[in-house]
Amino acid sequence: MPGTYDDIIARTVPDPDSSYRPTKEQEREALSRVEPPRDAALFSRVQDALRELGADHLSIDTDGERVTLHGAVADMATWRRIDERLREVEGVRIIDNRTHVG
């Protein structure tokens, strides 16, 4: 028998009671590295288009002329309208619609 959880931790973790916590300065530096969308203007146009459809809760990622969407939509009709509407948005050439109905 391998032993209890505490026995396993005592054998495998060098110092189980210590923990690393970044300083406030390190946290600020890490947060300042968060990048805005690659194409903020395209992101904004896509966001506006989704808002028109009532689907502005979806996650949007833009990469050049590619738009990737994640999340759930209310019904199949909305799911279909997303592709139709995004094809009308200036700068969108590729739509990777990873949304689902649910």
pTM of the model: 0.61
- What Rg, from alpha-carbon coordinates, does the chain have? 22
Domains belonging to the chain, first-starting first, are 40-101 (3.30.1340.30)
Element (H, E) at 60: strand 59-63
List, for residues 35-77, the tens digit of each pLDDT value.
555 688 899 999 999 999 999 899 999 988 999 999 999 999 9
Nearest to 60 by CA among 98, 88, 32: 98
User: How does the average pLDDT of the chain come out, rounded?
Assistant: 82
Give the span between the Cα atoms of 59 and 71, in whole angstroms: 6
What is the spatial distance between Cα 82 and Cα 54, in angstroms, rounded to a whole number? 10
Candidates 43, 97, 37; CA nearest to 73 is: 97
